[in-house]
Amino acid sequence: TKYPTYTEASDRIFAIPGERHVQREAFWRSRIEDILNNNRLKDLSRRFQTRRMEIVQ
C-alpha cells in the first residue's frame, strides 16, 4: 500500500472535524424541525379537539 504523504495526512486530519461539524449541524437541524413539526401537529389537533367539543355542546 502507498502511504499518504505528510501533507495529505495532515490535510485529512484537519478536514475531519469540519465534516463532523457539518454532519452534527445537519442532524440537530433535522431534530429541531421534527420537534417543531410534532408540536405544531399536537397544537393543531388540540385546537381541533376543543373546537369539536364547542360544536358538540
CA dist 37 and 39 (Å) reads 5
CB atoms within 10 A of CB 16: 9
What share of the chain has pLDDT > 90, as a percent?
A: 75
CA dist 30 and 36 (Å) reads 10
Whole-prediction pTM value?
0.55
| Span 11-32, average pLDDT | 94
Name the average pLDDT for the chain.
92
Of the listed ranges 19-28, 30-39, 48-57, the least confidently predicted one is 48-57
